[in-house]
């Protein structure tokens, strides 16, 4: 039995046993849904609210589907028309929503630390789930990426994983590294142009590299990341063509990786910038599987937080 999760705001310090438990729970849910039925009713009568202050396609839709498929009621709060636009501070919005008896709030926001702040201000038993806070964390993406890798290569202690792109602005990179480190991954390489790499002390379990041809050599998994222009100043945005030339994953580069290297990307993709179309759509790509796994992992997380 793992310790009970009350909220999910980060994977930092999450023990291996909890990550493996969630992976196995997601696989059990996937198997239970494999024969036509997509609906389990473990959360009937519970209410989940999506509170997204930043754009989202995959994360928001998959949280919504996950909650529906567990039988919960879902409210998608349209933050464009919320009272935050009238000057209401976020914890007053939280208390207002809590007064309506919610079981979980899934929050995405451009500010680092927002989800943790909500856990400190919450006055009810509501579970707070971080769906991405600035460049800080995206824990369910880290978990679904771990699940996607686990399905093919559960032997993390033998794996070399290369994450390439805009590492310093990426909450996905951070959460992936926390999950991969907890799972005992042999080697994690972070690669990108010097201006987009983090400080090495922030990532003590990783090798930081600037040359993608070297970083992908022998890799068992490669995860590409988008340039997060919305978190950069205009002068930091690299030229697209030269970026693709040095850091884009094309067939030739992929051939340097280990045979059968899994190609992953959290989306949204920018084709011919961080990944060539024929790789994104090629046989080694697991990108759409990540999307499918996102629903199962978010079902596992909601189930874990709301039923135990």
Smallest gap from Cβ 166 to ligand ASP, in A, equals 8
Closer CB to ligand ASP, 47 or 59, in the complex: 59
Smallest gap from Cβ 173 to ligand ASP, in A, equals 9
Closer CB to ligand ASP, 171 or 178, in the complex: 171
Closer CB to ligand ASP, 47 or 132, in the complex: 132
Residues that bind ligand ASP in the complex, under the rule CB under 6 A:
132, 138, 171-172, 226, 228, 266-267
Smallest gap from Cβ 181 to ligand ASP, in A, equals 19
Smallest gap from Cβ 87 to ligand ASP, in A, equals 27
Cis before 64? omega within 30: no
The runs of H, that is alpha helices, within the chain are 16-32, 58-69, 90-98, 114-121, 139-152, 171-182, 212-215, 240-247, 251-254, 277-280, 287-307
b vs e for 211-250, b when ≥16 Cβ sit within 10 Å of the residue's Cβ? ebeebbbebbbbbbbbbbeeebeeeeebeeeebbeebbbe
Closer CB to ligand ASP, 25 or 226, in the complex: 226
Closer CB to ligand ASP, 19 or 131, in the complex: 131
What is the chain's length?
Answer: 308
Smallest gap from Cβ 243 to ligand ASP, in A, equals 15
Ranked by CB distance to ligand ASP, the top (closest) residue is 226
d(CA 17, CA 160): 21
If 0-12 CB within 10 Å is exposed, 13-18 middle and 19+ buried, where does residue 49 land? buried
Closer CB to ligand ASP, 42 or 56, in the complex: 56
d(CA 116, CA 112): 9
Both tokens of 204, joined, read 């003590």
Smallest gap from Cβ 290 to ligand ASP, in A, equals 10
């Amino acid at each position: 039995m793992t310790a009970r999760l009350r909220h999910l705001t980060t994977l930092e310090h999450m023990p291996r046993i909890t990550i493996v438990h969630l992976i196995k729970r997601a696989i059990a849910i996937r198997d239970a849904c494999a024969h036509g039925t997509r609906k389990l009713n473990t959360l009937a009568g519970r209410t989940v609210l999506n509170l997204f202050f930043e754009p989202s396609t995959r994360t928001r839709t998959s949280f919504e589907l996950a909650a529906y498929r567990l039988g919960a009621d879902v409210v998608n709060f349209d933050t464009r028309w919320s009272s935050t636009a009238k000057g209401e501070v976020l914890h007053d919005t939280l208390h207002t929503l809590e007064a309506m008896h919610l079981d979980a709030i899934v929050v995405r926001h451009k500010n680092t630390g927002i989800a943790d702040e909500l856990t400190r201000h919450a006055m009810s038993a509501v579970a707070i789930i971080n769906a991405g806070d600035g460049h800080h964390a995206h824990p369910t993406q880290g978990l679904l990426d771990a699940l996607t890798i686990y399905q093919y290569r559960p032997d993390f202690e033998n794996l070399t994983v290369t994450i390439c792109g805009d590492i310093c602005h990426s909450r996905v990179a951070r959460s992936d590294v926390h999950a991969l480190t907890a799972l005992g991954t042999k080697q994690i390489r972070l690669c990108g142009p010097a201006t987009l790499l983090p400080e090495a002390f922030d990532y003590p379990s990783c090798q930081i590299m600037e040359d993608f041809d070297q970083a992908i050599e022998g890799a068992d998994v490669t995860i590409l990341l988008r340039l997060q222009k919305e978190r950069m100043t205009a002068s930091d945005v690299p030229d697209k063509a030269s970026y693709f030339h040095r850091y884009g994953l094309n067939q030739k580069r992929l051939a340097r990786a280990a045979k059968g290297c899994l190609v992953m990307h959290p989306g949204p993709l920018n084709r011919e910038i961080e990944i060539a179309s024929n790789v994104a759509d090629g046989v080694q790509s697991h990108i759409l599987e990540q999307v499918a796994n996102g629903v199962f992992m978010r079902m596992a997380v909601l189930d874990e937080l709301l039923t135990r």
